[in-house]
Structure 1
Amino acid sequence: MGDAMTAARPMQIGELAERTGLSIRTLRHYDEIGLLRPSARTDGGFRLYTADDESRLLLIRRMKPLGYSLEQMGELLAVVDGLDTDPADATLAARLDGIRDEAQRRREDLRRKLAAAEEFVAQLEAR
Structure 2
Amino acid sequence: MANEHMQIGQVAERTELSIKTIRHYDDVGLVTPSARSTGGFRLYTESDISRLLVIRRMKPLGFTLEEMKRLLDSLEILADASDDSSHTAATEFIADCHTRAEDSCRHLRRQLTYAEELTALLAEHSQRP
TM-score normalised by the shorter chain: which range applies?
0.7 to 0.9
Q: What secondary structure sits across from 2:55 in the alignment?
A: helix
Runs of 5+ unmatched residues, structure 1 = none
Query: Which of 81, 89, 103 is residue 76 of structure 2 equivalent to?
Result: 81
| Aligned: 1:125 with 2:123 | yes
Work out the CA distance in 2 between the residues paired with 1:19 and 1:106.
25
**Aligned residue runs from structure 1 range 60-99, under 5 A:** 60-85=55-80, 88=83, 89-99=87-97
**Superposition pairs for residues 28-43 of structure 1, below 5 Å?**
28-43=23-38
Unaligned ranges ≥5, structure 2: none
The 3-state SS of whatever aligns with 2:70 is helix
Instruction: Point out the more displaced range, 68-77 or 37-46.
Output: 68-77
Deviations 1:73-106 (CA, angstroms, capped at 9, x unpaired)? 1121121122223564222211111111111111
**Which entry has the higher C-alpha Rg, 1 or 2?**
2
Q: Matched residue of 1:34: which SS?
A: coil
| CA gap 1:87/1:113 in 2 versus in 1, 3 angstroms | farther
Alignment RMSD (CA, Å): 1.5
Q: TM-score, normalised by structure 1?
A: 0.88
CA distance in 2, matches of 1:8, 1:74: 23
In structure 2, the residue matched to 1:9 is 4
Which runs of at least 4 in structure 1 moved beyond 6 Å after TM superposition?
none
Aligned-partner Cα distance in 2 for 1:37–1:103: 25
The normalised TM-score by structure 2 is 0.86
